Amino acid sequence: MPAQPFACGECHMILADKVDQCPRCPTARVSTDWQGFVIIMQPERSEIAKRLQVSQPGQYALKVNIY
């Protein structure tokens, strides 16, 4: 069973396998403790993107738990 990927605690982007630092938020903490999954293709037309404050296409977690 593969390990769950990291998600950025700031922008919620789900990171590629074995990546443990967000390229958009390099100082943000990352976590494998996240919930929900959404793929945003056209952020300018997406209500979910507006609620998550996402401006770039990509894969995002709906909730990221940082301890």
Taken in order of first residue, the domains within the chain and their CATH numbers are 7-64 (2.20.28.90)
Across the range 4-12, mean pLDDT stands at 94
Query: What are 30-63's pLDDT values in tens digits?
Result: 999 999 999 999 999 999 999 989 999 999 999 9
Predicted TM-score of the model (pTM): 0.87
| CA–CA gap between residue 40 and residue 44 (Å, rounded) | 10
Whole-number pLDDT of residue 1 = 54
pLDDT at residue 10 is higher than 90: yes
Whole-number pLDDT of residue 3 = 77
pLDDT at residue 2 is higher than 80: no
